[in-house]
Amino acid sequence: MTYRIVIEPRQKQGKIINLTPEQKHYLKNVLRLKEDSEFIVIGGHNQTYLVKLNQDKGEIIKELKEQTELPITVTLMIALPKNKGFDEVIRSCTELGVNTIIPIITKRTLLKPSSHKIERWRKIVKEATEQSERQIVPIIMEPMSFSEALNNMDNTNKNCYICVARKKAKHLLTYLLPEITNSVIIATGCEGGWTEEEIDQAEDLGFIPVNLGSRVLRAVTAPLVALSLVAAVAEKYNLQD
């Protein structure tokens, strides 16, 4: 197995990767890599490099032509669940291929995140990116109200869905299967569910109510199910092409 690390764009200077103190410690003391040992650098923008350790820096051997990203851009608007449930949600969503995560605060949201939590979330996403061998690090935006998130959405995007329970709505697959799209936005609610006002507001801005099956899913389960469906359909059609 070749180990992977994520770098900031400014760390790449030509064929040299300027490692941070934390990355040096991880590579040399935790992984115990020796001089000239190889590892992979994730540089963002679908760029990955095979690199060898050269003293306290990385030296690029070659750019890798990998493709592990989904052939569709996925944005998840996830109402914050209680306790530490969001940690595992964002880790799993990163593994499944999400591009952007928007933590949202709804009328029934219990968690009010601190700046410390946001830093932790971004670290989790970075680690999950390395583990799942992706080429990009998903973006985690600052938590915002559901109204603010809706108003920031591009209203020209017609592939916007809000997952609802105990409400008449077609299954998400109904809209995913007819054709593959370039991007999709999916909103999932918190433990208490959406208020009728929130659903109406989303519909007014072009979101289509959908369900994820006959059972009522937990707030930490719904985004994973929704993203799994999108990933499965997107990769199935892309592989057939």
- CATH number, residue 12: 2.40.240.20
User: Could you say which of 43, 64, 85 is where a domain stops?
Assistant: 64
pLDDT tier for residue 109 given thresholds of 50, 70 and 90: confident
55 lies in the same domain as 90: no
Q: Tell whether the model's pLDDT for residue 9 goes beyond 70.
A: yes
Q: What is the pLDDT of residue 85?
A: 87
Residues of the domain holding 20: 4-64
- In percent, how much of the chain has pLDDT > 70? 94
92 lies in the same domain as 185: yes
What's the domain count of the chain? 2
What's the CATH number where 151 sits? 3.40.1280.10
pLDDT tier for residue 161 given thresholds of 50, 70 and 90: very high
Q: How far apart are the first and last CA of the chain?
A: 30
Q: What is the pLDDT of residue 180?
A: 65
Q: Compute the distance between CA of residue 196 and CA of residue 210 in angstroms, rounded to an integer.
A: 14
pLDDT tier for residue 110 given thresholds of 50, 70 and 90: low
Question: Which of the two residues, 98 and 4, has the higher pLDDT score?
Answer: 98
Q: What is the pLDDT of residue 157?
A: 61
Query: How confident is the model over 39-70, as pLDDT tens digits?
Result: 999 887 778 899 999 888 999 999 888 888 89
User: Could you say which of 45, 64, 83 is where a domain stops?
Assistant: 64
79 lies in the same domain as 179: yes
Task: Tell me the mean pLDDT in the region 115-138.
Answer: 90
pLDDT tier for residue 241 given thresholds of 50, 70 and 90: very low
58 lies in the same domain as 97: no
26 lies in the same domain as 84: no
User: Could you say which of 47, 64, 81 is where a domain stops?
Assistant: 64
What is the rounded average pLDDT for all residues in the chain? 88
Longest CA–CA span in the chain (Å) reads 62
60 lies in the same domain as 169: no
Task: Tell me the mean pLDDT in the region 18-27.
Answer: 91
Collapse the DSSP code of 58 into the 3-class scheme (helix H, G, I; strand E, B; otherwise coil) and give the result: strand
126 lies in the same domain as 228: yes
Buried b (16+ CB within 10 A) or exposed e, 32-47: ebeeebebbbbbeeeb
Query: How confident is the model over 65-101, as pLDDT tens digits?
Result: 888 889 899 999 999 988 788 999 999 999 999 999 9
165 lies in the same domain as 191: yes
- pTM, two decimal places: 0.86
Q: Tell whether the model's pLDDT for residue 190 goes beyond 80.
A: yes
For the ranges 63-77, 106-120, 173-187, the one whose mean pLDDT is highest: 63-77
Neighbours of 19 (CB within 10 A): 22
149 lies in the same domain as 190: yes
Question: Are residues 36 and 53 in contact, defined by beta-carbon separation less than 8 angstroms?
Answer: yes
58 lies in the same domain as 99: no
Collapse the DSSP code of 57 into the 3-class scheme (helix H, G, I; strand E, B; otherwise coil) and give the result: strand
137 lies in the same domain as 49: no
205 lies in the same domain as 88: yes
